[in-house]
Amino acid sequence: MSIKAVKAYPETGWGMPFVNFFDSTVTVTNYAQNGRSTKTFISDKLWQKIADNVKPGDYVIIQFGHNDEVPTKAAATTESQFKENLLLFVNQTRAKQATPILLTPTARRKFDSTGTVVGTHDVYAAIVRTVAAEQNVAMIDVDKESQALIQKYGPEDSKIFYDYLTPGENPNYPRGNSDDTHFSELGARKIASIVLAGIRSQKLELADRIVKKPAMKMPVPTPTTTPMPYEKN
């Protein structure tokens, strides 16, 4: 979701194109940071910035899981801690008369030997769904939707949505890059589109502020059964 540094380009957080889909009545402030879990988002005082600045009528989009779920990371949280932190975010948002929206984490690109997508967030995504159901919070199942997206395109073609580069293709990655977690510009736009569709399906008032025509357009190639040629520039 985060705004990426220039040196990371073409890696793109889905929060970057997301801002372009709303009319002038909406201001999007992106507090997301790479590598944060619910625990470190709190300890680094990033959540406090939101709690201090959120106003009645605002929406707070909350998406965690990637870093919470990896036990070898210093940022890791237990399942119970993860749920407690999500509840904190939800309750403090509502206390400010704002609307929380919970998102399951975006899918990593992982396939088994048969070409079937393998879920990598099953436990922590389920916790998000549970909190949303128990607290009656709007929830967008990005994990499920993004898994469906990469399944549609398959093991090879789905690389176009992630930060895959051949050696020499981009000066930021002279040796190339194979990243099954972070997105390309196109991938970021596809995830942003999933979130926008979720906002509409949840019938949130915010949906009325989505522009009828996106501010930017980028063609999405048709999935093929063989590696797909495309311009990498």
Which pLDDT score, from 0 to 100, does residue 229 have? 39
Domain boundaries defined on the chain: 6-209
Cβ proximity of 85 and 77 under 8 Å: yes
Question: pLDDT band for position 220 (50/70/90)?
Answer: low
Give the residue-averaged pLDDT of 40-64. Answer: 97
Range 6-209: architecture per CATH: 3-Layer(aba) Sandwich (3.40)
56 vs 53, 65, 143, 204, CA distance in Å?
A: 10, 27, 29, 15
Q: Token digits for 11?
A: 């890696």
Question: pLDDT band for position 76 (50/70/90)?
Answer: very high
Q: Name the β-bridge partners of 44.
A: none
When the pLDDT of each residue in the chain is averaged and rounded to a whole number, the result is: 92
pLDDT at residue 216 tops 70:
no
Whether this model's pTM surpasses 0.85: yes
What percent of the chain shows pLDDT beyond 90?
Answer: 91
Which has more pLDDT, 109 or 218? 109
- What's the pLDDT tens digit per position in 23-37? 999 999 999 999 999
End-to-end CA separation in angstroms for the chain: 23
What percent of the chain shows pLDDT beyond 70?
Answer: 91
- Distance in angstroms (rounded) separating the CA atoms of residues 31 and 28: 10
Which pLDDT score, from 0 to 100, does residue 212 have? 80
pLDDT at residue 230 tops 90:
no
- What's the pLDDT tens digit per position in 139-148? 999 999 999 9
**Which of 111-120, 154-163, 186-195, 213-222 is the least confident region?**
213-222
Which pLDDT score, from 0 to 100, does residue 226 have? 41
The beta strands (E) that lie in the chain are given as 59-63, 99-103, 138-140, 162-165, 177-183
pLDDT at residue 225 tops 70:
no
**Structure-token match 């380009």, residue found:** 9
16 vs 35, 74, 213, CA distance in Å?
A: 17, 27, 17
- What's the pLDDT tens digit per position in 140-194? 999 999 999 999 999 999 999 999 999 999 999 999 999 999 999 999 999 999 9
Which has more pLDDT, 164 or 228? 164
Which pLDDT score, from 0 to 100, does residue 231 have? 38
- Distance in angstroms (rounded) separating the CA atoms of residues 107 and 125: 10
pLDDT at residue 228 tops 60:
no
- Distance in angstroms (rounded) separating the CA atoms of residues 202 and 177: 37
127-145-28-76 Cα dihedral, nearest 10 degrees: 40
